[in-house]
Amino acid sequence: MAEDGDTKRGEETSDVPTDHESSGIEDTDKSPSKNMADSQKSPKKAQTRPANTISCSVVLLDGENLEVQIEKRATGQQLFDKVCTHLDLLERDYFGITYTDDRDPPAMRYWLNLEKKISKQKKKGPWVFSFALKFYPPDPTQLQESLTRYLVCLQIRRDILDGRLPCSFVTHAILGSYSVQADKGDYDPAQHGYGIDYIKDMPFAPVQTQELLEKIHELHKQHKGETPEAADMHFLENAKKLAMYGVDLHKAKDSKGIDILLGVCASGLLVYRDKLRINRFVWPKILKISYKRNNFYIRLRPGEFESHEWTIGFKLDNHRYAKRLWKTCVEHHAFFRLREPDVPKGSTLFPRLGSKFRYSGRTLFQTKKNLEILGRDDRPLKRSNYRSTMPYGENRARSVDELAMRTHDRDPYDPGHANTLERKYSEDDYHNRSLQDDRNRSLPDERNRNDRVPTALATVGLPKGMKPYDPEEGETRTRGPGEYEEGRRPGSRENLTDTADRRHRTPGDQEATLQGEPVREEDAMAVPAGTVQVAVSPKNAKEEEKERKKREKEEEKKRKEELKKKQKEEKEKKKKGKGKEKIALVEMDRPSAEDRMGDDENATERAQLGHEPDAAELERSEGVMAGAGIARQGSVPEKEHDEDTDKKTDDKDKHDKKGKEKGKDKQKDKKDEGKKGGFLGKFKKPHKDSKSKLESPDGSSAAGAPVGDAHDDQAGLAGPGHTDAADKSRPHKTEVSTLTAVLSSASETERPVFQRSISVIKQEDSDDATSKDGVPGSGEGGVARKDDYGPGAGIGVGPGYSARAGGPLGGEMGDESFVDRKMFFMPVTPPPKEEKHDNKLKTGLNLSNDTMPFFAPSATSTTGRPGKVPPPVPVKGSSRGGLDSEDRSGHVKTDIPPTVAAERMKYNADLDDTRVSTKNVPVVKTETCTVTYEKEGTTGPDQDDAGVLISAHSHSSRTQTVETTTYKTEKDGVVETRVERKVVISSEDEDLDHDKLLAEAIRSVTEFNPDISVERIECMREFEDSEGDHSKYAPNTAV
Amino acid sequence: MAAFKHNYAIICRIPQSFRDRSIGAQGKKMDVDKAKREYEQFKATLKNCDINIIELQEDENYPDCCFVEDCAVTIGGTALIARPVASRQGEVGEIRKVLRDDLGLKVVEIADPKATLEGGDVLFTGKEILVGIGKRTNEGGAQAVVDAFPEYPITPINIADLDILHLKNAINVAGRDILAICGGKEGKSIRSQMEQLAEYRCKLLHLESQVSIDMLYINGRLLHRTREEMGDSNYGCIDEKILYTRHRVSLEELSKAGGRIASMVLLVSKHRSQKKIISNLTEDDIAPFSQFKDLTYASNTLTKK
């Protein structure tokens, strides 16, 4: 609430009491007289028409109290649109706005007729409204966007607390545990402490007991690895089955004067007496509904053996209630039963005495169709905002947790630093950004949407040569929304973005298509957050921040220095080998990287800090294309952007629009992406500039074009094959949010791939950088990388996510089913991608990418898990130093002997097959060494119960043999699946890039499944073939 | 988690007092030894059903104690302790103890002092709950079911006028989305009420006699009576329609006392961590969009002619 409140305050001084967040807020509204003052506050609208505007407050589902300046003569639609725009809600037809009538108790809420003027409906009292779910979709899990599902979840949680949706203890526990998982992420004793204290302030049930909390806690522990989106899905899967789900109850009396309840729902009208359903009239059974005074009538179709129509009357307390019930029935019938709304007949032959009211919105059928047309990639959810604003204690707690989580995700190793830094920034930024945010808010989503469609057409027209920029396009899109979002929640940017990224990563499989765009946004957001965490500062985000804060400036300086260092490092790395760079990138993702070697630290810092670094890294990775030069360019533009930041905000809006348009275009014609890409790249560049994040884009754009081409090819290759994987990878995408942004530009099919690729650490960094920085170049690089990695990363990630999704969705058997998938994952990367990478990365970036993936998975996994379970973290923490040093030192050619990974996986996801192929890369001579990374506090695989052998697969390709053994152990009712994977890389070919293969192998394991935490990685490198007992990876190098 | 997946079955041995005190036996002496043989046979059959069996010691004070079904209603992790007729209320205690202490279910008690409820009147179809309101269960009992299982649509079925003791005498679950319903006026009455009230559709297997619909669907298997008991035509019908595993159980003697297969056992699906609501609801069941348009709205009855 504080955040929102702050932002609002920025606009309007302080009319509305921010404290009244909860649904009951009615009293707190501003009086009309205050509106004038408010108008002054909000520069945009208020200034133009101070006299005619009124400020009304709308209580959102998360408890946020949204202040809206609106004309006094405005219709309900205008208000509704403003609210939906604020929420960035696309599937808005399910929702509505309620108000209260002074004559009725506050609990009695009326739906605002969107076609009529607000002033005609809300006649007395302050303009306080509530945003609520009006038509409960029969299957909310099929809602297209995670945002919509999230809102439905919030509504259901409210319904449960209100007692409108009665549940048994067991159901409260089930639903509550998913709420906790969505709000707080994985259970992490370090974060949440032992016991139920961390959820004791969360409301789950009208009456909640210690026992319930304990049960929720117990279940929550078992949702480990579920992204917030997945948790929401599971929540909805259960909630939709509840008998009273979506039933709108109205008190009435039957003809005998007995108290009954009339329930209006999607299927018809239900009659309850003492909670017992004594009658049920489905819509087909009802011929006519009407009301007269306080009577409500339904005329029934004659039954099978009846010849007469029946008319049944019910008495309500007064005529308003009768009309309200009638209108509800009319609307529900129209929405759920009709293909298109019933148009009131304009017949003037007979003057109508009654209401002409008809449902005027879209029907369920139409809204579904509409969304198919409008469809956008799933947007990144910024729950932190919502939740932070939520009136409920849970939300608040959650926001804090989220922040922490974010930091953890990004920097599993050094969570503390990142967290503190981020938080500070976020808080400070909040106020500063509020103004900008407000501006951003003003932008209507519709415009963007509209723009998108036309742009799509335009994109088609674009020359094919533009393809390479597809990723950029995606970026622009993402940027658009991202910027918008950022603008909305200035403070949230950093934190939110991080959270969003995590969430995206974690959530979900199913939502992948939707996520694309959101991811981008998130990515953009995430990057800044990452930078913030580092404290070094994301340049782009920082730029804005700098203006606001001196700290940021300092950070920027640091960043620049770091960038310089990074550039140097990059050069060095290039010299040393791509592998090192990759590692560096990986490290950068994680805050802990600082601890690592100085060079590595620099690199990591760069990555974390800034878009610039990221971009540079990306560029580096691209290597051949731009090389260091690109990075430099990127940095330069960034600086420029900083200067232009003021202008940028304005430009951003434009850019956003453009980006959206581009995004639409992309969506429409993925194939045309290449062509579009060119445009997008152009657009993106401006956007980036405007955003200030875009600084690097110029440099990147040059590189981006080639990359884009490569990406296109890759996308084309990966896209079709990986579509399945894409679904799976979606969660990954979310994690990699930055990547997703890039991906979004690419075709949808490609997107998933990209998301997968995101798992590669470098890619993530680059993506983050690109998205955050808005630098086209970086974006391109990220895209290219994504594409390249797409197969490999996609594979790894895909399974993990799919496992998550599958786990909940698939149910009990998920673990077993996953095993096979795992097999598929084993293959490292598709050859075509590699080739591309090689081209791009020849400088050495490729290696870095590979290594990146290795770490990246852990990073991704951590991100996916809100920090509770840093699966790879242990490895990083304890072994990182060793790894880093090894990697870095050995990068030149001796690096990365470590192999051995023992993973504990709870969920396995479906994976797509990917071919393993490796080519090029200078031969690296290595000594025999074994490095074992173990998760802290985890027992070695030996200690674990042997469990039941579920499956053992081996998959061999030309250069490697992957053996996957899956054990299942049941402990305390928790089924643990332990997967041991041994990858033997043997090569007779000198050209084989062992580092790369190793990195890929490790990546494939670490990324394998985000739900699975890596307990142990052993790397053995021998000149002679050897296999470690526990080593999952036993890379053998033959010189 | 689908319904009808059970992992515990509570059964109770037959007491010697069953000989002459069983309520269902109208003045006739029961053949306890034969009943016990049937019980043992039933138990053996149950053992083949992939389920853990909890066998309770018989209680001579309650000759009907072997009909454990009436003592509670269990769905998922929730158990509603029933309130049978006065002469049998003592049986509930042991069941409660087992459900709560041994199985760790969330036990719910009936709040309404006037409510009566026997498990035989509660039929969980996998998607909704039918509660027969009649001789052994009143509306208060149905209310208690609503309170205990608010997740499911509860459909009260009036069986007071029918010649059956329990709802399950006339209708039973024969499989996933399959209900077996007996002929005669009982079946007809119940069917018409279900059509009016029940929310979800399922297939109905029409059989002639109450004996023939005496069945128990458990873990993908169907237990039903023998050919001799139900008659060739009914048996043939089942033979034709039910393709999954079937076990035949003879309850000749026990059925004289009102026993049914389902009444002999209280099934529990106990999961340490239940993550889903137990329900067989599928996407098809959830209000599919339809383009029917046959309703006229009138804000005022005067408006339209």
Task: For A280, name the nearest residue in chain B, comparing CA atoms only.
Answer: B197
Q: Residue A153: its pLDDT value, please?
A: 93
Q: Residue B104: its pLDDT value, please?
A: 87
Segment A428-442 mean pLDDT:
37
The winner for highest mean pLDDT among A2-6, A242-246, A790-794, A1012-1016 is: A242-246
User: Nearest CB to B299: which of A170, A326, A974?
Assistant: A326
Query: Which residue blocks in chain B are alpha helix, DSSP H?
Result: 18-21, 32-47, 91-97, 139-148, 184-197, 227-230, 232-241, 252-256
What backbone torsions phi and psi does residue A354 show, to the nearest 5 degrees?
Answer: -95, -170
* Residues on chain A touching B272 (C-beta within 8 angstroms): 972-973
In the sheet with B78-81, reading across from the earlier edge strand, the strands are B72-75, B78-81, B106-108
Query: Cβ(B59)–Cβ(B90) under 8 Å?
Result: yes
State the best of A162, A168, A181 to mutate against chain B, taking most chain B CBs within 10 Å: A168
Work out the percent of chain A whose per-residue pLDDT is above 90.
9
Give per-residue pLDDT as tens, A750-763: 333 333 333 333 33
Give per-residue pLDDT as tens, B112-143: 999 999 999 999 988 889 999 998 999 999 99
Cross-chain residue pair B287–A138, CB shorter than 8 Å = yes
pLDDT at residue A785 above 90? no
Tell me how far the alpha carbon of residue A153 is from its chain's centroid. 16
Least confident segment among A357-371, B183-197, B199-213? A357-371
pLDDT at residue A111 above 80? yes
Q: Nearest-CA distance from B139 to chain A in Å?
A: 9
Least confident segment among A91-100, A782-791, A965-974? A782-791
Q: Residue A646: its pLDDT value, please?
A: 42
Segment B168-183 mean pLDDT:
89
* Residues on chain B touching A338 (C-beta within 8 angstroms): 291, 293
DSSP string, A226-243: --HHHHHHHHHHHHTTST
d(CA B222, CA B236): 15
Least confident segment among A362-376, A875-889, B171-185? A875-889
Cross-chain residue pair B146–A358, CB shorter than 8 Å = no
| CA distance between the termini of chain B | 52
Q: Nearest-CA distance from A276 to chain B in Å?
A: 7
The winner for highest mean pLDDT among A3-12, A681-690, A925-934, B98-107 is: B98-107
Q: Nearest-CA distance from B144 to chain A in Å?
A: 10
Q: Residue A949: its pLDDT value, please?
A: 67
* Residues on chain B touching A330 (C-beta within 8 angstroms): 297
Q: Residue A347: its pLDDT value, please?
A: 52
User: Nearest CB to B273: which of A219, A338, A368?
Assistant: A219
Q: Residue B142: its pLDDT value, please?
A: 93
Q: Residue B258: its pLDDT value, please?
A: 83
pLDDT at residue A639 above 60? no
Q: Nearest-CA distance from A138 to chain B in Å?
A: 6
CA atoms within 13 A on the CB side of A918: 30
Residue whose entry in the numeric block shows the structure tokens 């500070």 = A424
Residue B76 to residues A95, A170, B73, Cα–Cα distance (Å): 33, 8, 10
Cross-chain residue pair B300–A240, CB shorter than 8 Å = no
Cross-chain residue pair A276–B301, CB shorter than 8 Å = no
User: Nearest CB to A973: which of B153, B273, B301?
Assistant: B273
Mean pLDDT of chain A: 55
d(CA B66, CA B24): 13
Cross-chain residue pair B150–A167, CB shorter than 8 Å = yes
B57 or B295: which leads in pLDDT = B57
Residue A635: pLDDT band (50, 70, 90) is very low
Q: Nearest-CA distance from B143 to chain A in Å?
A: 7
Segment A43-67 mean pLDDT:
73
Q: b vs e for B234-273, b when ≥16 Cβ sit within 10 Å of the residue's Cβ?
A: bbebbeeebeeeebbbbbbbbbbbbbbbbbbbbbbbbbeb
Task: For A303, name the nearest residue in chain B, comparing CA atoms only.
Answer: B196
Q: Nearest-CA distance from B11 to chain A in Å?
A: 25
Q: Nearest-CA distance from A259 to chain B in Å?
A: 15
User: Nearest CB to A330: which of B128, B153, B297?
Assistant: B297
Cross-chain residue pair A355–B299, CB shorter than 8 Å = yes
* Residues on chain B touching A972 (C-beta within 8 angstroms): 272
pLDDT at residue A818 above 80? no
User: Nearest CB to A284: which of B277, B289, B294?
Assistant: B294
ipTM for the predicted complex comes to 0.89
Chain A, chain B: beta-carbon pairs less than 8 Å apart: 168
Query: What beta strand segments (E) does A22-148 contain?
Result: 53-59, 65-71, 95-100, 109-111, 128-133
Segment A131-157 mean pLDDT:
90
pLDDT at residue A334 above 70? yes
pLDDT at residue A779 above 70? no
* Residues on chain A touching B282 (C-beta within 8 angstroms): none
Residue A326: pLDDT band (50, 70, 90) is very high
pLDDT at residue B8 above 70? yes
Task: For A809, name the nearest residue in chain B, comparing CA atoms only.
Answer: B276
User: Nearest CB to B302: which of A168, A219, A353?
Assistant: A353
Least confident segment among A309-318, A358-367, A403-412? A403-412
d(CA B122, CA B140): 13
Q: Residue A770: its pLDDT value, please?
A: 35
A346 or B15: which leads in pLDDT = B15
Residue A139: pLDDT band (50, 70, 90) is confident
pLDDT at residue A470 above 50? no
pLDDT at residue A623 above 70? no
Q: Nearest-CA distance from A871 to chain B in Å?
A: 23
Cross-chain residue pair B300–A974, CB shorter than 8 Å = no
User: Nearest CB to A290: which of B155, B288, B301?
Assistant: B301
d(CA A990, CA A47): 72
Q: b vs e for A230-267, b when ≥16 Cβ sit within 10 Å of the residue's Cβ?
A: bbbbbbbbbbbbbbbbbbbebebebeeeeebbbbbbbb
User: Nearest CB to A166: which of B150, B196, B283?
Assistant: B150
Identify which of A642, A656, A688 has the alpha carbon closest to the alpha carbon of residue A542.
A642
Q: Residue A383: its pLDDT value, please?
A: 59
Segment A891-897 mean pLDDT:
41
Cross-chain residue pair A240–B147, CB shorter than 8 Å = no
User: Nearest CB to A288: which of B277, B288, B295?
Assistant: B295
Cross-chain residue pair B276–A973, CB shorter than 8 Å = no
Residue A340: pLDDT band (50, 70, 90) is confident
Give per-residue pLDDT as tens, A214-272: 999 989 988 888 888 899 999 998 998 898 998 999 999 988 889 999 999 888 899 99
pLDDT at residue B157 above 80? yes
Query: Cβ(A673)–Cβ(A470) under 8 Å?
Result: yes
In the sheet with B203-207, reading across from the earlier edge strand, the strands are B171-175, B178-182, B203-207
Mean pLDDT of chain B: 84
Cross-chain residue pair A169–B78, CB shorter than 8 Å = yes
* Residues on chain B touching A292 (C-beta within 8 angstroms): 300-302
pLDDT at residue A833 above 50? no
Cross-chain residue pair B301–A292, CB shorter than 8 Å = yes
Cross-chain residue pair B151–A139, CB shorter than 8 Å = no
Give per-residue pLDDT as tens, B266-288: 999 887 777 788 887 776 666 55
Q: Residue A51: its pLDDT value, please?
A: 65
Q: Nearest-CA distance from A223 to chain B in Å?
A: 9
Residue A165: pLDDT band (50, 70, 90) is very high
pLDDT at residue A532 above 60? no
User: Nearest CB to A276: which of B143, B199, B281?
Assistant: B143
State the best of B122, B130, B151, B303 to mutate against chain A, taking most chain A CBs within 10 Å: B151
Q: Residue B40: its pLDDT value, please?
A: 92
Q: Residue A50: its pLDDT value, please?
A: 58
Segment A193-212 mean pLDDT:
87
Cross-chain residue pair B292–A283, CB shorter than 8 Å = yes
What backbone torsions phi and psi does residue A979 show, to the nearest 5 degrees?
Answer: -120, 125
Residue B80: pLDDT band (50, 70, 90) is very high
Q: Residue A64: its pLDDT value, please?
A: 84
Q: Nearest-CA distance from B303 to chain A in Å?
A: 6
What backbone torsions phi and psi does residue A760 show, to the nearest 5 degrees?
Answer: -60, 135
Q: Residue A619: its pLDDT value, please?
A: 37
Least confident segment among A50-64, A478-492, B7-21, B157-171? A478-492
Identify which of A527, A691, A745 has the alpha carbon closest to the alpha carbon of residue A615.
A527
The winner for highest mean pLDDT among A111-115, A357-361, A507-511, A587-591 is: A111-115
Cross-chain residue pair A168–B150, CB shorter than 8 Å = yes
The winner for highest mean pLDDT among A200-209, A302-311, A556-565 is: A200-209
Cross-chain residue pair B1–A812, CB shorter than 8 Å = yes
